[in-house]
Structure 1
Amino acid sequence: MAVTLAEEIMLLSLDDASGAAKERQSAAWAVAGGILLDLVLAGRVAVDGGRVRVTDPNPTGVPLLDERLRLVTAWAAGRKQAPKVTQWLTKDHTKAVRATVDSLRGRGLVHAEQRKVLGLFPITRYPEADGSAERELRDRLRAVVLGGAEPDARTAGLLALVHGAKLHRLAFPDVPRKQVAPRLERITEGHWVTEDVRKAIRDMQAAMAAVTVATMVAATS
């Protein structure tokens, strides 16, 4: 079973050795967005005009995606107007992260470690257990962004999420943002995805930008 977009973003966020999540809040929005975009690519969900609509409630066969599909279907049911993407991301991002980490554990890619902060407060971290998926992921991203390789639709979507959530340092920790941002912009607007998916990606980017700004404002107020 292929690693999902949400799992790939989570792998980029989790520190391999300590298991701590880097850029936790922005990565959480991107994880929830990754699940939604995978459902778009699977033909189960449509995102247009900043709103999300379930087009096919049938399972994809991927447990992580199917549980979110079930939840978003129930959440959106009976509404007169399709709900906004920002509403779903705000509602689901924390739970989506937990579900995604559990999925990574189930695949054997990370494992849970119980630790205590200051010797008192218990926390759980998720260090790397099998680095093969992340190595393949980082090699693929570098080949596309730095090497000029042609991305497939899922890689283009992943890079659009990275760009929209401003997670450049997670994906390319040794490369200045200004060096990779123009290429990411071209990929987002490029011909690697169909027009409906391209619109969905733009809407997802706008939604993540909106919720990220709102979170930053709330944190400083």
Structure 2
Amino acid sequence: MTVTLAEEIMLLSLDDASGAVRERQACQWAVAGGLVLDLVLAGRLSVDGGRMAVVDTASTGVGLLDGRLAMIAVRAAGRSRPQKVTAWLTKDHRKALDATVASLAERGLVGEEERKVMGMFPVRRFPGVDGAVERELRTRLEETVLRRAEPEDRTAGLVALLHGAKLHRLAFPGLPSREVVPRMREISEGQWAGESVRKAIREMQSAMTAVALVTMRS
């Protein structure tokens, strides 16, 4: 089963027992960035100078990605310049999280329940159902970050997004930041991928830094 970067970030964020989203605010930005980066890796978007452009509208075969591609293409139509990545992330980050959780539920990777807080206020929760995908994901992250295996392109992108959004606690719960952050930074800034992929990762890192600053000031 192919799992998108956004879905991988959500699997790390969702509490397996309660189904609650941990570190929701930062996770929203990382998920939205993951969708953009996956579209770049799929050859559907290009990112240059902090702006993104649609280069191919063909289906990726993944409904979650195709939905975002269509939305980006609509916003790009008629514009004289490509839209800024930060502007898109700002517009989409909350909706992207909801769409990604819904995709996980549709694919049977998480369940969906409605509970009431204080017996009055309904909230939706998404407890884990199939833990095999998340276990494989965490093993891959441990091999790359803790055991210093050379990452392939998508894993390098995932680590860069998690690092940019400061979500190392979700990926490595219980470990102090000094044991994981330097390696995550090294991967984010490293020469692991082809130039086009490295450029896209750098652009997404810059966008994540920019939106993090805006979030802290708001």
TM tier, smaller? over 0.9
Deviation at 1:125, TM superposition (A): 0.6
Q: Deviations over 1:128-184 (max 9, x none)?
A: 011111011001100110011111110010000000111010001121112211111
- CA–CA separation in structure 1 for the residues paired with 2:156 and 2:48: 18
Matches within 5 A, 1:1-221: 1-218=1-218
Deviation at 1:212, TM superposition (A): 2.0
Deviation at 1:191, TM superposition (A): 2.4
Q: Deviations over 1:59-100 (max 9, x none)?
A: 111111011000001111111111110100011111111111
- CA–CA separation in structure 1 for the residues paired with 2:125 and 2:198: 35
Deviates more, 1:110-119 or 1:205-214: 205-214
| Partner AA of 1:118 in structure 2 | M
State the TM-score, normalizing by the size of structure 2. 0.97
Structure 1 segments, 4+ long, off by >6 Å, are none
| Partner AA of 1:113 in structure 2 | E
Deviation at 1:47, TM superposition (A): 0.9
| Structure 2 unaligned residues grouped into runs of 5+ | none
SS at match of 2:124: strand
Deviation at 1:38, TM superposition (A): 0.4
| Partner AA of 2:84 in structure 1 | K
- CA–CA separation in structure 2 for the residues paired with 1:212 and 1:121: 30
Deviation at 1:51, TM superposition (A): 0.7
- CA–CA separation in structure 2 for the residues paired with 1:204 and 1:90: 13
- CA–CA separation in structure 2 for the residues paired with 1:179 and 1:48: 32
SS at match of 2:140: helix
- CA–CA separation in structure 2 for the residues paired with 1:127 and 1:216: 29
Superposition RMSD in Å: 1.0
Q: Deviations over 1:41-65 (max 9, x none)?
A: 0010011111111111111111110
- CA–CA separation in structure 2 for the residues paired with 1:63 and 1:126: 20
Provide the identity percentage.
Answer: 64
- CA–CA separation in structure 2 for the residues paired with 1:206 and 1:178: 22
| Partner AA of 2:92 in structure 1 | D
Q: How many residues align?
A: 218
Deviation at 1:216, TM superposition (A): 2.3
| Partner AA of 1:54 in structure 2 | V
SS at match of 1:89: helix
State the TM-score, normalizing by the size of structure 1. 0.96
| Partner AA of 2:156 in structure 1 | A
